[in-house]
Chains A and B, each alone.
Chain A
């Protein structure tokens, strides 16, 4: 779902990769949460690194509503340099280049739009080295 309020609410983590670190146990949460699995509710702001590697992947060929024009597109779970993980598209990547361990960098891309006249939702994608 893409609405103005949802786009605005998600801006800190989708635009700037803002995560948080539990003040008690040091666990990193991306996106932020209100309570840590250790029970602590105190967190410090923390920016995720923009480099990492693919730990698993797929190529989406049957896409959900709103993504049809982009199919086939690569997706994966990326483990960033600090060990935190994000799930995102792997853009500018030929399917045959996908492999576990592929080095990627986070780039700012358009993710979805609410039709031709609605708001545009931006966010992060992983991109392999050119």
Chain B
């Protein structure tokens, strides 16, 4: 059965706390922290972008899979912060892991579900026998406009999943997607920062589409929430996925392993993929995982995975998600943060 043969995460080392941002804008940090269930977020270093994050996540996935890069027949990178507007990210990943030249490559976009789209395509290709291995990556260095609520959460990180048929560590049991045309969050061409519909992004967008994805896949798989050891949903903040879980009948226990957002922030296309990689770091053979992404615009991709006896053999072969998230972060002040994120207008260097 087709499924994940290798997975890997990458999260930059820099962080900024909610208080540090709130201080600058005169906002009430305690209420933000409580309302969003978010304490701090990751920030990319000045030398990091979606290409470097995708590459490191892909390298970790390849370490776990232990297969030659030359066998990877397709690479898809989903992001809303590709370094180039025109010129692919995936080609750089392919060069690094040695997948060139015999490889299909494309960059994907669908707000925050671009990563799960890559997983969906990669899974479909290996299942059909079209390629031996295919990789889906979700990665972002998310942008939030200065002073906007998104600035407290927009974070950086990514996860990569190599799909294949041999030595599968987590089989894809079922897949389902749900969508509608809903303008809840967008960024127009040439604009620096995304805009959003405020409270419209809740019920009409996130909750409707995650519910659609989860209920759809449960129906397709004839399953119930209690059938899963773990569940992970898109996590723009801590509050949304936990409320969704409660409404759908999932417990805190099922959610906690994949819920990284309180100290990671919203890694957009990387959010539910990173949650999944954190779960795979801990899961045991036989555990079933339900994952549901969400992308504004709007839609969701849901997967049901069953962990195999191969999983424990690969968990220790690369750095774990929590190793990146929890170990010795560097905390930035707001000034350094805006310098790193190039929000300061400077003279052109001569």
A interface residues (Cβ-Cβ under 8 A, vs B): 11, 15-16, 65-66, 68-70, 89, 91-92, 94, 107-111, 120, 122, 125, 130
Contacts and interface: CB of A to CB of B under 8 A. Distances in A.
B13 interface: yes
Given A15-B92, A130-B327, 7 more contacts: A15-B95, A69-B339, A70-B47, A91-B47, A107-B56, A108-B52, A122-B92
B13 A15 contact: no
CB-CB nearest 8 A-B residue pairs: A130-B327, A108-B55, A109-B47, A110-B47, A15-B95, A15-B96, A92-B13, A130-B328
Contacts of A108: 51-52, 55-56, 59, 96
A82 B339 CA distance: 38
Contacts of A70: 46-47
23 contacts: A15-B95, A16-B96, A16-B98, A65-B349, A69-B46, A70-B46, A70-B47, A91-B45, A91-B47, A92-B13, A92-B45, A92-B330, A108-B51, A109-B48, A110-B47, A110-B51, A110-B52, A111-B47, A120-B51, A120-B83, A120-B84, A122-B52, A130-B327
B252 interface: no
* Chain B interface residue bracket vs A: 20 to 34
Interface string B1-44: 00000000000010000000000000000000000000000000
A96 B327 CA distance: 18
Q: Which one of A16, A65, A94, A130 has the greatest number of beta carbons of chain B within 10 Å? A: A130
- Chain A contact residues: over half helix, strand or loop, or mixed? mixed
Given A108-B52, A110-B52, A125 B47 contact: yes
A58 B215 CA distance: 57
A11 B95 contact: yes
Contacts of A11: 95
Contacts of B13: 92, 130
A70 B349 CA distance: 13
B130 to A, nearest CB: 26
B47 to A, nearest CB: 4
Contact of B323 (A68, A89, A107, A130): A130
